[in-house]
Amino acid sequence: MKDFSYPVVVVGGGPAGMAAAISAKENGAEKVLVIERENRLGGILKQCIHAGFGLQYFGEELSGPEYAERFAVKAKEAGIEFMLDTTALEIREQTLVCVNTTGVLHINFGALVLAMGCRERTRANLVIPGSRAAGIYSAGTAQKLINIYGHKVGKEVVILGSGDIGMIMARRLTLGGAKVKAVVEIMPYLAGLARNKAQCLDDFDIPLLLSHTVVDITGVDRVESVTIAPVDENRKPIMEKAEVIDCDTILLSVGLIPENELTRSADVTLSGITKGAVVNQYKQTDKPYIFACGNVLHVNDLVDHVSHESEDAGKYAAMYAAGKLPTVDQIEVAPGEGVRYVCPQKASPADMPIDLYFRTAAPGRNTTLTVSDDNGVLITKKLLVTTPGTIEKMTIPADKAKNISGKIVVTAVHKEA
Ligand SMILES: Cc1cc2nc3c(=O)[nH]c(=O)nc-3n(C[C@H](O)[C@H](O)[C@H](O)COP(=O)(O)OP(=O)(O)OC[C@H]3O[C@@H](n4cnc5c(N)ncnc54)[C@H](O)[C@@H]3O)c2cc1C
């Protein structure tokens, strides 16, 4: 067994982990180590060969691998150490237990940044009835098979779920010669970004069926058809209106689950809504030496947000390791009317801006977003359109953040549904 010691260790070499590691180094951590279970850096971006990354962060449109490469180059130039092909298994106080082909490693750290990303929900998570024929993939798996391994996954496709990955795969499959017969969404509104609907469905005449779901899958060896039905306001299928669509492939784009097994091993408190750790504005969990960022903290819409959030996590992890992070009483940050969740869930009065990331609960127009504390309204913002698929960000300025008190509540009130 080998022992190592670092001021800051990061688990995950995706965009979150790389941004956190670079920032930790820039903010004074002498040695930073990134643990990555795959043989290359980049995380999920390695398979995202479409454009659409970096518009906010770099002010230009990059593919996923291009976006990741910029961080990988910077991280290497900064002298960050990487252990690839190494999986983090468990956190024991301030020691991370990992395994790779050399055996079990014990890595001691001053601060740990968790950046493990998330995995896709599966058919089993949704309990979709029907046969267990071949041809049923999660959208991300199909993306990997096509973009990394060059396989063709099917000819006639139905996609369940209107998340971003599903819509992006609808376009990818169409460009590869398949016929995407429909994208079926159980909710009455889109799950992903409106820009992806325009660019991936509308531009290719792919029908989007809102308030519909899959009620049966048939096929012996290979999928032969899928039965879909509209749902009522309680999301119950209306079976009299069910229809059969012939297809050989079904893609599931039905949500992502933050990969928090490692986080649980450290007994960190998780949020029942985001399924990620409960953190304060420093991205610090209730185990003060553990920080979290990226999709393992909450599922993000844009990687640009991930990079910004993760830079904060790396900076504050470095400060914690150096004994420079202030510890103060924390107050609750809660979702109010019209808001599903807010991250961070805690904040402390401090002379620094506090970024709040949140999702609205339902789509709406002419929306007023408000952040208040016990003293009254801190900030407001008006938006023409809001959707749950888009992450909203509001920042409490430093002059107000130093006086926050009681409880912070974020609300979204729509003038029109
Ligand atoms: C299919 C798809 C399409 C997307 N399209 C866009 C887009 O067009 N524009 C955009 O801005 N965003 C897009 N996104 C979102 C963006 O890719 C994510 O927000 C971003 O990749 C999240 O970064 P992350 O580092 O948190 O997670 P990931 O990229 O998932 O990286 C996590 C890393 O942690 C590693 N890891 C996990 N557990 C362990 C462990 N125990 N030990 C060691 N290593 C571990 C994983 O191997 C992985 O490399 C897309 C996402 C997907 C899935």
Give 117 Cα–ligand 1 centroid separation in angstroms.
Answer: 5
Which tokens in the block code for residue 71? Answer: 């961080």
Nearest 10 degrees: CA dihedral of 379, 388, 59, 394?
10
Residues shown for the chain: 417
Give 350 Cα–ligand 1 centroid separation in angstroms.
Answer: 31
* Helix, strand, coil percentages for the chain (3-state, nearest 5): 25, 35, 40
Placement of tokens 């749950």 in the chain:
388
Question: Distance (Å, rounded) from C-alpha 216 to C-alpha 383?
Answer: 40
H/E element, 355: strand 354-360
Q: Which of 84, 83, 43, 11 is nearest to 266 (CA)?
A: 11
> What lines the ligand 1 site, CB under 6 Å?
11-17, 35-38, 43-45, 48, 50, 52-53, 87-88, 115-117, 140, 143, 164-165, 168, 259, 262, 294-296, 300, 302-304, 306
Q: Which ligand 1 atom is at minimum distance from the Cα of 165? A: 1
Each of the 417 residues of the chain gets a pLDDT tens digit; together they read 566 899 999 999 999 999 999 999 999 999 999 999 999 999 999 999 999 899 999 999 999 999 999 999 999 999 999 999 999 999 999 999 999 999 999 999 999 999 999 999 988 788 788 888 999 999 999 999 999 999 999 999 999 999 999 999 999 999 999 999 999 999 999 998 888 999 999 999 999 999 999 999 999 999 999 999 999 999 999 999 999 999 999 999 999 999 999 999 999 999 999 999 999 999 999 999 999 999 999 999 889 999 999 999 999 999 999 999 987 778 999 999 999 999 999 999 999 999 999 999 999 999 999 999 999 999 999 999 999 989 999 999 999 999 999 999 999 999 987
How confident is the model at residue 126, as a pLDDT? Answer: 80
> Which of 57, 300, 303, 307 has most ligand 1 atoms within 8 Å of CB, for mutation?
303
Closest-CA residue, ligand 1 atom 35, reads: 12
CB neighbours of residue 87 within 10 Å: 15
Q: Which of 213, 226, 157, 206 is nearest to 184 (CA)?
A: 213
Placement of tokens 């990303």 in the chain:
117
Give 49 Cα–ligand 1 centroid separation in angstroms.
Answer: 13
Question: Distance (Å, rounded) from C-alpha 383 to C-alpha 415?
Answer: 11
Closest-CA residue, ligand 1 atom 22, reads: 295
HSE-up of 393 (CA within 13 Å, CB side)?
Answer: 14
- Residues 112, 121 contacting (CB under 8 angstroms): no
Give 45 Cα–ligand 1 centroid separation in angstroms.
Answer: 6
Q: Which ligand 1 atom is at minimum distance from the Cα of 299? A: 19
pTM across the whole model: 0.94
Write down all domains in the chain, each with its CATH number in brackets. 1-118+256-326 (3.50.50.60), 122-254 (3.50.50.60), 328-417 (2.60.40)
> Which of 48, 195, 253, 308 has most ligand 1 atoms within 8 Å of CB, for mutation?
48
> Which of 45, 173, 283 has most ligand 1 atoms within 8 Å of CB, for mutation?
45
Give 234 Cα–ligand 1 centroid separation in angstroms.
Answer: 33
Placement of tokens 């407001």 in the chain:
380
Q: Which of 288, 300, 267, 302 is nearest to 346 (CA)?
A: 288
H/E element, 187: none
> Which of 116, 141, 297 has most ligand 1 atoms within 8 Å of CB, for mutation?
116
How confident is the model at residue 400, as a pLDDT? Answer: 96
Question: Distance (Å, rounded) from C-alpha 120 to C-alpha 211?
Answer: 21
3-state secondary structure 206-272: CCEECCEEEEEEECCCECCEEEEEEECCCCCECHHHCEEEECCEEEECCCEEECCHHHHHCCCCECC
Number of H helices, E strands in the chain: 9, 27
- Residues 191, 161 contacting (CB under 8 angstroms): yes
HSE-up of 121 (CA within 13 Å, CB side)?
Answer: 18
Q: Is the peptide bond before 344 cis (omega within 30 degrees of 0)?
A: yes
Give 34 Cα–ligand 1 centroid separation in angstroms.
Answer: 15
Backbone angles phi, psi at 332, to 5 degrees: -75, 140
Q: Which are the contacts of 166, defined by CB distance < 8 A and separation ≥ 6?
A: 139, 159, 160, 183, 192, 251, 252, 253
Output the CA–CA distances (angstroms, integers) from residue 288 to 110, 326, 329, 395, in the order listed: 10, 11, 13, 23
Q: Which ligand 1 atom is at minimum distance from the Cα of 86? A: 43
Give 28 Cα–ligand 1 centroid separation in angstroms.
Answer: 26
